[in-house]
Amino acid sequence: MTETAPATRMPILFEAIVRTLCIEATYNGGHVLLAPHVAFTRHGEVYIGATTIERDGQPPREEKIGLFKLTGLGAFALTERSFVPSATFDPADERFAAETLLAVERPAA
């Protein structure tokens, strides 16, 4: 895993969303594996809406879309692990719909 400067994170993030690939990062002192579903802006900052696949090697108790400030994620790197877009992801969610930069395409139901 390699550290990337914030300016170089956007192409990595967009590639992860388009190709439905997980991102590895450090967050709040721990290692996370995230499935990024949406990139959006809020107050001039870029955020990610993602499901957590693993936190310090353990799966989460429940599946949900969490919000992560891009600059708050360290050791940010693309993985080759793919993910299936979560049924909990709603592109119209008011937390990010108005400022969406890019979002995964959900499979047809």
Domain boundaries along the sequence of the chain = 6-103
The rounded distance, in Å, linking the Cα atoms of 19 and 45 is 23
pLDDT number for residue 2: 45
pLDDT number for residue 81: 97
Quick one: which of 33, 28, 29 has its CA closest to 1? Answer: 33
The rounded distance, in Å, linking the Cα atoms of 5 and 22 is 18
Q: Tell how many helices (H) and how many strands (E) occur in the chain.
A: 1, 6
Type of residue found at 79:
T
Q: What is the pLDDT of residues 11-62, one digit of tens each?
A: 999 999 999 999 999 999 999 999 999 999 998 899 999 999 999 999 999 9
Name residues whose C-beta falls within 8 Å of residue 93's C-beta, 6 or more positions apart in sequence: 49, 65
